[in-house]
Structure 1
Amino acid sequence: MGVEMIQKELEGIDIRYQEPLKNYTYTKVGGKADYLVFPHNRYELARVVRFANKVGIPWMVLGNASNIIVRDGGIRGFVIMFDKLNSMTVNGYTIEAEAGAKLIEATHLALRHSLTGFEFACGIPGSIGGAVFMNAGAYGGEIAHVLTSCKVLTREGELKTLTGQELKFGYRHSAIQTTGDIVISAKFALRPGVYSMIQQEMDRLTHLRELKQPLEYPSCGSVFKRPVGNFAGQLISEAGLKGYRMGGVEVSQKHAGFMVNVDGGTALDYESLIAYVVDQVKEQSGITLEREVRIIGEA
């Protein structure tokens, strides 16, 4: 389908053509999207989804591309980013945030209103939508502990509300990963707290994260899920892989559970390094690491 037809049918919506996704991903890798879309609201989003379904153009939501690797061949069809769907409101002890709002900013909003329960997420990069999608967590907390409901857009372009129970949360898992629904917004139930104590806990967790994680380089965050009874970073370290590099991507010397883009790395570098690490850890420990980061797009 021609660009002119898409411009006519989706007039007024911010669509960028043949846009390099490496400009938007946390890893700084990724080929071009045929059509990169930034809807301003759920109605624009629904228009894009229904149009794509009608004419048979593939579409997907990229969120804000934090825990993801986009392959160097890019992504065909519509790629939808939620940067402009980012409003947040507080009602009593409840925060409602649109899917494109940054999770870290939601924790700071909770702090400003002296609401506790969200401190665990104060350093997790990524969007609200992505956090719900993968039940993001850290330091003993996870989204499942605070989410009460979320609004989603189905693959058919219909809006509905799901409860936390219906999301069937598990470790880095939600039902949305199999249904294909798109998170539009989410509600989080918090508790009244003391501002200074909330601030102190957020400062403590931020300090821990800065000590342990390679925040100075582009990365996709934690690459592997935590194996039962073990830690991925520890297994990788014990296999002697800290600092091991393929192309421009290396296993972080600060935290082996991370892979960082230190010198113009590509998605292929990431994939090759991930495969190598899995093989080596399996050989050394007998444990098969399971990838947490999603890999999408064309080679």
Structure 2
Amino acid sequence: MNRQEKVVDFITRNLVATKTAVQVDMKNHTTFKTGGTADLMIEPQSIYELQLLMKYILKEKIPYLIIGHGSNVLVSDKGIREVVIKIENNLSRISVENEKIDAEAGALLADVAKEAQKKGLSGLEFACGIPGTVGGAAVMNAGAYGGEIKGVLEEVQVLTAQGKLLIRKVEELDLGYRKSIIQTNGDIVLKARFSLKKGDPKEIEDLMQELTRKREQSQPLEYPSAGSVFKRPEGYFTGKLIQDANLRGYQIGGAQVSLKHTGFIVNAHQASTNDVLNLIKHIQKEVKRLYNVELETEVKLIGEQ
């Protein structure tokens, strides 16, 4: 029995609600719409079943990858040999009590922001257009329009690389610009608690609508992308560096520097992941040559290299 068959057999015998699928086209599970197939994808239906699954996978030392909405990843054209565990649609419950919001890791951050607005809670307006999950947002300290997760996150519940359940307070997470300790310690975020402030629902809604208009006007939402591809180098604006390097609209294969926002690479026409990677390398090379600035990617490459 190979690795994949062992995992499926364990799930069949022990996790009645968890879904499995083989030879999954990852184009359908990332916002870039590129990449090859995953040998096996698992979608746990509850945190309890995810815990049992991870206990087994860790015990058997089976390589795995965790994904959410797929909004900040590039899947290799060769596909993924690790077991892919998708935390999104099913682990997405949101609850509100007083000025606290608890959200499971698979909940979309934008949905949490909408729920906060309905309850008259302010603080998550900046997140209304961020296309990722709560888990991913905590791992990356997601931010936009002057706000970031660090400012509203109180704590996360995690499953450690040793299979233990822990609560980590925000102070323990070492949250910084697009970084956290979770990126390196092997934790899997299960839930997050946000601490917000009372506000006027209409004022909160108005601000969210204003930010949505700004986003629609400035970002190429009509094309598949992963948002801003590069981290902002200290003292510079990434989009301006790329624009000044005369790379607006520059294209390799089906991947293109956005005409609307040069900090974005878009899948303009059936791009491959290699197209995107080659364009990233070209941008980095030109910006380094012209301005001696190293551009570091935000987007993460996963799968067989």
TM-score, normalised via structure 1 length:
0.97
Structure 1 residue 7 corresponds to structure 2 residue 13: no
Shift of 1:141: 0.5
User: 2:71 is matched with which residue: 56, 66, 75?
Assistant: 66
Shift of 1:219: 0.3
User: 2:24 is matched with which residue: 14, 19, 28?
Assistant: 19
Report the equivalent of 2:205: 199
Q: What residue identity is the alignment partner of 1:7?
A: V
C-alpha offsets along residues 16-57 of structure 1, whole Å, 9 cap, x if unaligned? 112111111100012111210100111211222222223332
Give the 5 Å matches for 1:83-232: 83=88, 84-232=90-238
Q: What residue identity is the alignment partner of 1:214?
A: P
Report the equivalent of 2:48: 43
Maintained 8 Å contact 1:70/1:296: yes
Question: In 2, distance between residues paired with 1:96 and 1:3?
Answer: 34
Maintained 8 Å contact 1:39/1:81: yes
Maintained 8 Å contact 2:82/2:303: no
Q: What residue identity is the alignment partner of 1:8?
A: D
SS, match of residue 129 in structure 1: helix
User: 1:253 is matched with which residue: 256, 259, 262?
Assistant: 259
Maintained 8 Å contact 1:49/1:59: no
Question: In 2, distance between residues paired with 1:221 and 1:298?
Answer: 23
Q: Aligned-residue CA RMSD in angstroms?
A: 1.1
Question: In 2, distance between residues paired with 1:108 and 1:120?
Answer: 11
C-alpha offsets along residues 228-262 of structure 1, whole Å, 9 cap, x if unaligned? 12110110000000100111010000000000001
Shift of 1:179: 0.4
User: 2:60 is matched with which residue: 55, 58, 74?
Assistant: 55
SS, match of residue 10 in structure 1: helix
Question: In 1, distance between residues paired with 2:231 and 2:129?
Answer: 18
SS, match of residue 295 in structure 1: strand
Q: What residue identity is the alignment partner of 2:78?
A: G
Question: In 2, distance between residues paired with 1:2 and 1:148?
Answer: 38
Shift of 1:5: 3.7
Report the equivalent of 1:28: 33
C-alpha offsets along residues 160-187 of structure 1, whole Å, 9 cap, x if unaligned? 1100000010111111011010100100
Question: In 1, distance between residues paired with 2:244 and 2:268?
Answer: 22
Between 1:67-76 and 1:161-170, the stretch displaced more is 67-76
TM-score, normalised via structure 2 length:
0.96
Structure 2 spans left out of the alignment, 5+ residues: none
Q: What residue identity is the alignment partner of 2:130?
A: I
Maintained 8 Å contact 2:141/2:148: yes
Question: In 2, distance between residues paired with 1:184 and 1:2?
Answer: 25
Shift of 1:4: 4.7
Shift of 1:60: 1.5
Maintained 8 Å contact 2:3/2:62: no
SS, match of residue 241 in structure 2: helix
Maintained 8 Å contact 1:10/1:47: no
Residue identity (%): 45
Structure 1 spans left out of the alignment, 5+ residues: none
C-alpha offsets along residues 66-115 of structure 1, whole Å, 9 cap, x if unaligned? 01111111111211111210000001000000000000000000000010
How many pairs were matched up? 299
